[in-house]
Amino acid sequence: MLHLLRGKDRKRCKLTAFSGVLLVIKRKRRFGDRNDGHKVRTLAPMFKVSPYIMKKRSDASNFIDDTIDIEVAEKYIAEKRKEGLKGLGMLHLFVASYVRTISQRPGINRFINGQKIYSRNCIEVNLAIKKDMKLNSMDTVIKIEFEPDATIADVYEKFNQVIEENRAEGDVSSFDSAARVIDFIPGLVKKFTVWLLNLLDYFGLLPRFLTKLSPFHGSFFITSMGSLGIPPIYHHIYDFGNVPVFCSYGAKRTVFELTREGNVVEKKYIDYKFVTDERICDGHYFASALKLFKSILKNPYCLSSPPEEVIPDID
């Protein structure tokens, strides 16, 4: 049965477009599914075996870097700021472009736990930030959930909402509070606690409120080296949790290039790097997703409206 759903009701659902209306087909939870994703059962045997051979994300990490011409992106940002999206920046574009890519290439939103491959039933973005740009200021993690049909305005509003919530929480956020509780536990007990959490996660028994809070669970992690004024780094993906992709992008850089006509032009670029878990989908699929991501980021005008279709992942 087809339903018109919004918000939380879209979780664990297939979404398609029909006559300009977003239609949602509810996906029933089956044995072997987790509270944050459904088990992918129709993969080729090679993919089902690979998590037993490459047991850790660090064993299966692939590294890729690329560069993007930001001329059109900067023009787009300037136009959106005039429309009222004050403070819109490259971070919003990176996140919105990746969310849009997931809507068309849902395989990159899979993850591995317990040597099984799952398709995540939501899009969760993790971002590590400093509360103040000072050497000794506290670090924290912002975690934001997006709908697969999110526009740039949706991403902008979500960011503002979460930032305001973190400001309201003061110096200690929900993540900081949870980390502080674990920190109070004595060393040996702390080691056992983390082992127990990892064991529960392995069997899909970790409560949803913990995976929502955890920066080690989510669709992807993104960090801006540009805000620090340095080039991007290859940031490792964590063995704890299930984040399959880490993206890092650097500061804007200016290059003077010679055209075929012999003229010197000024170009602006941003370098970015991805570290990915190769076990969640094949190289051709990843390449297709990353090319789509780059094309959206390079010409982001499509982000002003929802996608014509949101493609569901396989069962």
Instruction: Please give the Cα distance from 124 to 257 (Å, whole number).
Output: 39
Task: Give the CA count within 13 Å in the CB-facing half-sphere of 12.
Answer: 12
Contact 72, 90 (CB under 8 A): no
Instruction: Please give the Cα distance from 185 to 195 (Å, whole number).
Output: 13
The continuous run of DSSP H or E covering 287 comes out as helix 283-298
Q: Could you give the domains of the chain?
A: 2-304 (3.30.559.10)
Instruction: Please give the Cα distance from 124 to 13 (Å, whole number).
Output: 16
| Backbone phi and psi for residue 86, each to the nearest 5 degrees, phi listed first | -65, 135
What pLDDT sits at residue 135? 57
What pLDDT sits at residue 199? 96
What pLDDT sits at residue 3? 35
What pLDDT sits at residue 289? 98
Instruction: Please give the Cα distance from 33 to 27 (Å, whole number).
Output: 11
Instruction: Please give the Cα distance from 91 to 171 (Å, whole number).
Output: 23
pLDDT (tens place) for every residue of the chain, 315 residues total: 233 344 444 444 444 444 344 444 457 888 899 999 999 999 999 999 999 999 999 899 999 999 999 999 999 999 999 999 999 999 999 999 999 999 999 999 999 999 999 999 999 999 987 666 555 556 678 899 999 999 999 999 999 898 777 766 655 666 666 677 777 888 889 899 999 999 999 999 999 999 998 999 999 999 999 878 889 999 999 999 999 999 999 999 999 998 888 899 999 999 999 999 999 999 999 999 999 999 999 999 999 999 999 999 999
Instruction: Please give the Cα distance from 202 to 281 (Å, whole number).
Output: 20
What pLDDT sits at residue 137? 58
Neighbouring-strand partners of residue 234: none
